Structures are given as structure tokens and as C-alpha cells.
Chain A
């Protein structure tokens, strides 16, 4: 593994507190994920790809913004791997880059209707932007 990849891998495990080596590759996370069909890379692949250092494709994938952070995978993983936390860490690495926000204030008005709660807007902002 190149030192760059290695650095990124260590950074992700440190930020998330997730140890991808604990994964036994059972597929429970992907079995339980409600956003599975919206994702190009699925929860078990996040864990596996971070473990092997293959992180670049994840950083560029829209899958980062499809995770609902519903924690179903976190609670149901038999090995305590907590995949959602890893997804979050990868997403943060992606959006912390300058100009890499997934959503801007200009995008918001088009998404609103009369009923949408403030909570949805602030949540999306927190997830998609830095």
C-alpha cells in the first residue's frame, strides 16, 4: 500500500474509531441498510475497501450522500464494526476539501416546500457541507 493510502486509511480509522479488521464479512450491514439500492458502494464494501486501502473510489462516490446515518448497521453488526461511522469519516474527508461541498445554500430554495421542517435543512447542511 502506498504511504498516501496508508495515511488516509489511518486517518479514517482514527476519526471514526472503527477498526475494519474486526469485520467478519457477514454482510449484515448491507442486509439491513435501508439505502442499499441508492448506493454504488454498499456498507460492507466501505468497510472492506477502507481495510484494503482502496479509498479513492469511495471519496468520489455519490454513495457518501445516500447514507441516512440511521445506525441500523451500527446496532445490528455482530462484530461491533459500526460501518456508518466509517461512511461518515469518508464523507468528512471528501467535503472538507475546499470547494467540495455537496450542497450549497443556492441549492436549497429549490428543495423546499411549505411544510419542510428546519431540521431537514440543517441536517442536510451538516452532512453535506463544511
Chain B
């Protein structure tokens, strides 16, 4: 029989105003197992905690019930109090008589009655509680960062600077991500490459960082502190160690008509290529879809001109196994397809472009060497129309676009407009907007400069139709302030396309058993208080894979994710949550139901030898819970058809005892 102490908190007047605390502590005194019951103004205060400690010692308590606020508030506090008094912390139960009782009821009799019932349930549970000891697992002191854009780069650098080895897996031939394609950055207009490329070099030279470029995560097993990851390194048909990045091959390759994805197809590259001058690693890659040698064995020019002998047409995909303690997802974003928005004629005219294409058009390393020229005829545009919110803020019923605000478009469009006016003051620039959203440091000032100093025409309204005719784009739009329909002959139309998570994110989330929202953004463990952690232990989030973000926000989040990783890797051992599932092997029938419902991949099956009642032995397939991976969600316990699964600290028997106490 337990010796239970009950401690009823007033929480000032928060509880005491609607609950007769004295009546509660008196009523609970009569419950089975209760040997002591009291109430106090603030149980969480030092004095309140001392009442608990003293009572544990004096009455030799084996379990306690604190009737107070939500366990989310002070369960940890009271567990520490119990532990300090020599009681196992899992012998503490909280009855929430504040959020779920005093705050939602108005009259004292009702509140008091409910508080007593909640207290009885907690007492019933403690009667069945057993001391629990959390397990420990070792930590592999190495981190994996998936994605080599600015988010991944910053996270990797911060972890590596703290002294832990980091691997970056990037699916493109170079790290750098979207930021490497940008021209200038808001709100300061400093050049993206000038601030990004030194970081890329830092990554390349950091003794703690390895880069797996042109590689993808193939498989993830294991759990926090102990992930087993298989990385697939695509054959680039170039020996990375030997290639000096001299570029001789990329000049001599006869296959010149390959759309250059770095410039979004606005110019061509060769079949063997280095994406851009500052690529890291600066190593050539052969595109097997276009290389004549790989396709039909007829060419071999690159091998002939390569002084380093780095070309290897026989190279195969390689699989690398590595162990990691933590995984950071930094898979980034892409602009959405404009196929469903062809009222803007994106698929009907080369001079209707997306904002990312515009970045390449104004970039000195872009297809026009930074001169603003129309893609169709290379002429200098005189009137440019920017359209905001293309595919953002759409209703789900409209079946096109995204419901969310893409967040970065208002600012980059102000930037584009300003860059145009700065280089070519003669150009007329229109920006059609629904709202101009500028909540960031120096952001609104930046936008106002575009309007007031540079004379960009901001029009509150939307473009309804773009008609390419001859060499102009006839833009029909509303001006809601003037209550007019505008007809503008433009030379270039730039669409601020909504952004969406990279397509690789969804399959990756499945491999990581990390949760995602309906838009395929990774979900954070808590939207406010744990914004860089996935609900899956050991998986962290960096950058736009979690939601639309600009560069300053991405870098902040990247650093935050790194600090969480460092905090994890700094530990030698991880203390687990003891409230986890376990299977009664004698009852388990090996049906795999629990394995299928487990969102964390914590359950595996094994064949085990059992002694049968007739003294023979039999091999049976039974479920086994990995205590380091189980998060104690309880899904398996309700799914298990034979009742073999149970959650420590929340066993079926404990919960039924609570229900019984409430219903009595």
C-alpha cells in the first residue's frame, strides 16, 4: 500500500476563488492510501516546496499528488522537489485544478466538486505508480546537415566551430543554394556573392566539415544520438580528388546546348560543367543526360584535355555509411511552377519572367553579364511591371497556388525595383501589390525609399491579364485607389512567384520520421518555444524548409539549430524519458500493428525463443521497443489488438483507475 501525501495549491486566488481548497484537501484525506493532506497559498514557492519535502520525510510518503496548475507548468518543479526529498520523481502526480477547473468554472460548488474528482483520479493513479529510472544512451559526436544553402552552411559552420565534426550533404554539384543565384540582398543592397562565397570557402577549408556534393540521403536508421545514415554519392564521372577545377574541359566540351539550370535555363552550359566560378567544391561534373561519351561512347574530348587525368567515364554511384548524433534539415525552397497562372503569359512569352530569373538577369555573372536585357530580343526594357503575390495567399478551393504568404516577395520586389531605377533611371517601374508587408528591421524604410527616392510606381491592385503582342506586353490591371483599370504597354513582366519547400523534403521527412504540415514544410516541436527542433528527437530544422524565410531570419535560425545540436553533442550520454512503451512478450502475437502506427520508427520485431508450458521451446516473433527512440506517444498501446503494449507511467491499468475514480 502506498503512503500518499496530497498538496492542494491556492495559486493565490487563481484556484482559491473558484475552488474551496480546504474542502478539497479534507475530502482527499479520505481516499485510499492518503496519509497526509494539506493546502497552501503557493505550492510552487520555496516555502510550499518545503512543506512537501517535510511531509515526505515526516510521513514516510511513497507518493504525492499536487493539485495545482497544468503539469506543463510545474510538473518538473515538483518532481525535483520529490527527488530532493529522496522520492522517485515519477511517484509525483499533478491534478490540474487550475486551467481545467478553476479557470473554466464560475461558481465555487461546481469548481470544488470537480477539483475533488480530479484529485481522486490522481490519487487512484499514484496508488499504481512505480518508480521509474530513465535509461541512458551514448551520443555519436558528429552532425549531419542536409542541404548546402545558406541555412546549411551557417548551421555547419557554427557546429564545426564548436569543435564537432559535421557532414554536409548537398544534392547539387556545389553548395551555395538559392543565395548563390541572387544578385543583391535587402535591405542593405550588398552583393549576395560577396557575403556568401567567403562562407562557402570557410566551409571548404574547415577541418571539421566534410562536403558530400552531388549526393543525397538514401536511408536513415537509428535514433537521437545514434543515427545510421546511408549517403548516395552520384557518379559525377570526375575524380574529385584529382580535379583542379581549371575549367579546360568545360571550354572544350562540344555539347554546348545544355540548358544552364544555374541561370534558370536562360543560357546554355556544356555537358561537363562547373555551375559557377565560386563553386565549392570547384570540381567539374558530367551531365549523363547530355554527354555523348556516356550516351553513345563517341567523344572523350574532356578526358583528352584534362591535364590532371580526372575524367572517369566508368565512375559509379557510391554509397557511404556514417553515424551521426544529430541531423539538421536545411532543404530550402523553390519558386512554384507558373503553369496554372498563364493569364500572366509566362508560358507564352520569354519576357514574362519570375523574380528568381530577374535575379540572374541583373547579376554580373548571369546570362546578360548584369545588363538588364529582355530575354526575347536582348533589347533594353523601358517599362517593367512587377506583380506581387503570384500563387501566394490563394484559397485552397481555388486549387492553384499556396494558402500562405511567401514572406520574402515584398522585400525582394522593392529591391528589384530599386536596382532597376538605380542602374536605369529612365525605366518606368510599376509594382502591383495587395499589401506591402515589411515587418523587419529597416524593411519599411527600404520600401519607402523605392517609392520616395527612386519613384517606383506602387499600385494597389492586381494584374488581371498579360497579352504579348508584337514586341510589347499589354498589361491589364486594376488600380483600386484610383478605381480605374490600367492598360500598360510593358517590355518586361516580373512575377513574384510563391515559394514552396524543395521536392526532396517530403521523401526525406519519411526517412527521418519527421512530421510535416500540409504544405510540406517541416513542423517544429513547438511553434513558439521550440522553433528549430522537429518533434522527432535529434532532428533539427534550419531555414526555409520550416517556412518561408529571408536571409537574416534563415541565418538566425541556422545558428539556433546549431546551438541545439551543440547542446546535444556536448553530452556524453542522453537521459531518456522513462515513460515509454514496452511490450509484454508473452501477450504479443507479432502482428506488426504497433510497428506500422509508430511515428518514430521505435518498434522493431525480433524472433525470440520462449519456453512453453509443456517445457518445449518455441521461436516467436515479438515486438521490441527501442527505449532511446520511443517518445511515449502511446499510439502503439491503443493500436495493439492483444493488449501487449503498455506505456510506463501511463499504463492501461493506471488510466482505467483514474477513469474509475472519476466515474465513481
Chain A interface (Cβ < 8 Å from any Cβ of B):
22, 24-33, 36-37, 42, 44-45, 72, 76-81
Pair B465/A80 contact, Cβ less than 8 Å: no
Nearest CB in chain B: distance from A31 CB, A: 3
Known: A44-B480, A76-B343. A27 touches B462 (CB 8 A): yes
Among residues of A, the one whose C-beta sits closest to the C-beta of B483 is A42
Across-interface contacts of A76 in B (CB, < 8 A): 343, 464
Known: A31-B461, A42-B483. A79 touches B395 (CB 8 A): yes
Pair B398/A32 contact, Cβ less than 8 Å: no
Pair A32/B465 contact, Cβ less than 8 Å: yes
Nearest CB in chain A: distance from B251 CB, A: 47
Complexed CA–CA distance, A108 and B363 (Å): 62
Complexed CA–CA distance, A86 and B262 (Å): 46
Contact with A along B373-395 (1 / 0, CB 8 A): 00000000000000001000111
Pair A30/B401 contact, Cβ less than 8 Å: no
Nearest CB in chain A: distance from B482 CB, A: 11
Contact count A vs B, C-beta below 8 Å: 74
Additional 9 contacts, C-beta under 8 A, given A28-B462, A36-B485: A28-B463, A28-B478, A33-B464, A33-B485, A36-B478, A42-B483, A76-B464, A78-B398, A78-B401
Tell me, yes or no, whether B460 is within 8 Å of chain A by CB.
Answer: yes
Contact with A along B398-429 (1 / 0, CB 8 A): 10110000000000000000000000000000
Across-interface contacts of B462 in A (CB, < 8 A): 26-28, 31
Nearest CB in chain A: distance from B464 CB, A: 3
Chain B interface (Cβ < 8 Å from any Cβ of A):
343, 389, 393-395, 397-398, 400-401, 432, 434, 460-465, 476-480, 483, 485
Across-interface contacts of B401 in A (CB, < 8 A): 78
Complexed CA–CA distance, A25 and B485 (Å): 15
Among residues of B, the one whose C-beta sits closest to the C-beta of A79 is B395
Q: Kindly identify which residue among A22, A37, A79 contacts B485, using a CB–CB cutoff of 8 Å.
A: A37
Complexed CA–CA distance, A49 and B248 (Å): 67
Interface of B is mostly: mixed
Pair B398/A31 contact, Cβ less than 8 Å: no
Pair A78/B343 contact, Cβ less than 8 Å: no
Pair B398/A28 contact, Cβ less than 8 Å: no
Pair B464/A24 contact, Cβ less than 8 Å: no
Pick the 10 closest A-B CB pairs, nearest first.
A32-B464, A31-B464, A27-B478, A31-B478, A80-B397, A30-B478, A27-B461, A28-B462, A80-B395, A36-B485
Among residues of B, the one whose C-beta sits closest to the C-beta of A36 is B485
Complexed CA–CA distance, A22 and B393 (Å): 11
Q: Kindly identify which residue among A28, A79, A81 contacts B464, using a CB–CB cutoff of 8 Å.
A: A28
Pair B485/A31 contact, Cβ less than 8 Å: yes
Q: Kindly identify which residue among B389, B461, B477 contacts A78, using a CB–CB cutoff of 8 Å.
A: B389
A-B contact pairs, 21 of them (CB 8 A): A24-B434, A25-B480, A26-B389, A27-B460, A27-B477, A28-B462, A29-B464, A29-B478, A30-B478, A31-B461, A31-B463, A31-B464, A31-B478, A32-B464, A36-B478, A42-B478, A42-B483, A44-B478, A76-B343, A78-B395, A80-B395
Complexed CA–CA distance, A29 and B399 (Å): 17
Nearest CB in chain A: distance from B398 CB, A: 4
Pair B461/A30 contact, Cβ less than 8 Å: yes
Across-interface contacts of B485 in A (CB, < 8 A): 30-31, 33, 36-37, 42
Across-interface contacts of B432 in A (CB, < 8 A): 31
Nearest CB in chain B: distance from A77 CB, A: 7
Nearest CB in chain B: distance from A92 CB, A: 23
Among residues of A, the one whose C-beta sits closest to the C-beta of B465 is A32
Among residues of B, the one whose C-beta sits closest to the C-beta of A28 is B462
Across-interface contacts of B465 in A (CB, < 8 A): 31-32, 72
Known: A78-B389, A78-B401. A72 touches B395 (CB 8 A): no
Complexed CA–CA distance, A42 and B480 (Å): 10
Nearest CB in chain B: distance from A75 CB, A: 8
Across-interface contacts of B398 in A (CB, < 8 A): 77-80
Nearest CB in chain B: distance from A63 CB, A: 13
Nearest CB in chain A: distance from B664 CB, A: 48
Pair A78/B393 contact, Cβ less than 8 Å: yes
Most chain B CB within a 10 A radius of its CB, from A31, A37, A44, A45: A31
Pair A31/B395 contact, Cβ less than 8 Å: no
